[in-house]
Amino acid sequence: MRLTNDWNRLIYRLWAPIYDETLNHFFMPGRRRAIALLDLRAGERVFIVGVGTGADLPLLPRGVTGAGVDLSPEMLARARLQAERCGLGLELIEADAQVPLVEDGAYDAAILNLILSVVPDGNACLRSTVRALKAGGRAVALDKFLPEGARLSVGRRLANVFSTLLGTDINRRLSDVMRDCPCTVELNEPSIGGGLYRVLIIRKMQEPPH
């Protein structure tokens, strides 16, 4: 099965009421590390791609502004409540993160936690996010990737049938996600799940001098 926007809308409508009380307990240590590495400062603008229920929002420092986007209206409704509780002035947008949504170069930083393996096209999502960053801007991503050079086993193929039914693809390679994207990986460290999940710091390339 391949992920689609229609399937993701359906499955995350079902996840929305229980996500914070179930899956997010497992993901929170990785989220904390990712946000700490991003090192956001008051006055910076951040673009949160796949904001979901707003699980990352309590981890943001006061004085940060920006926007969050998600395909699921049910997840966004919870993110709005979280933003209010945190006193954050964030614009929350219901939209497809695979297409450009905001002005190019409008953000200092971006958060891509658990989204590059969820959208149907992770490469399109990353490219549209990097477009939104200023030259030299940075992004953090907490996600799982198939190790480079690893063969795709029958067992992993079968496991991916089940995982896509739950709304995530476990067989994406980071090199495919980053294809033709003007960015570099500055950090790639093991995270939760015994290193199955990784935390990445991604930097948008500086514009060449004119």
| pLDDT tens per residue across span 149-202 | 888 888 888 999 999 999 999 999 999 999 999 999 999 999 999 999 999 999
**pLDDT value, residue 150:** 83
Is residue 120 situated within a structural domain? yes
Question: By the 8 A CB rule, do 111 and 38 touch?
Answer: yes
Q: Number of structural domains, the chain? A: 1
Strand partners, 139: 110, 202
Question: By the 8 A CB rule, do 28 and 56 touch?
Answer: no
Q: The CATH number of the domain where 156 resides is what?
A: 3.40.50.150
Domain boundaries, position 78? 5-204
B/e letters for 22-34, b = 16+ CB within 10 Å, e = fewer, are ebeeebbebbebb
**pLDDT value, residue 210:** 46
Is residue 50 situated within a structural domain? yes
**pLDDT value, residue 208:** 52
Residue carrying the six token digits 């502004």 = 65
Structure token digits, residue 76: 């966004």
Is residue 40 situated within a structural domain? yes
Q: What is the pTM of this model?
A: 0.95
Is residue 29 situated within a structural domain? yes
**pLDDT value, residue 25:** 93
Is residue 210 situated within a structural domain? no
Is residue 164 situated within a structural domain? yes
Question: By the 8 A CB rule, do 79 and 68 touch?
Answer: yes
Is residue 121 situated within a structural domain? yes
**pLDDT value, residue 40:** 98
Along the 210 residues of the chain, how does pLDDT read in single tens digits? 789 999 999 999 999 999 999 999 999 999 999 999 999 999 999 999 999 999 999 999 999 999 999 999 999 999 999 999 999 989 999 999 999 989 899 999 999 999 999 999 999 999 999 999 999 999 999 999 998 888 888 888 899 999 999 999 999 999 999 999 999 999 999 999 999 999 999 999 987 544
**pLDDT value, residue 79:** 98
Is residue 209 situated within a structural domain? no
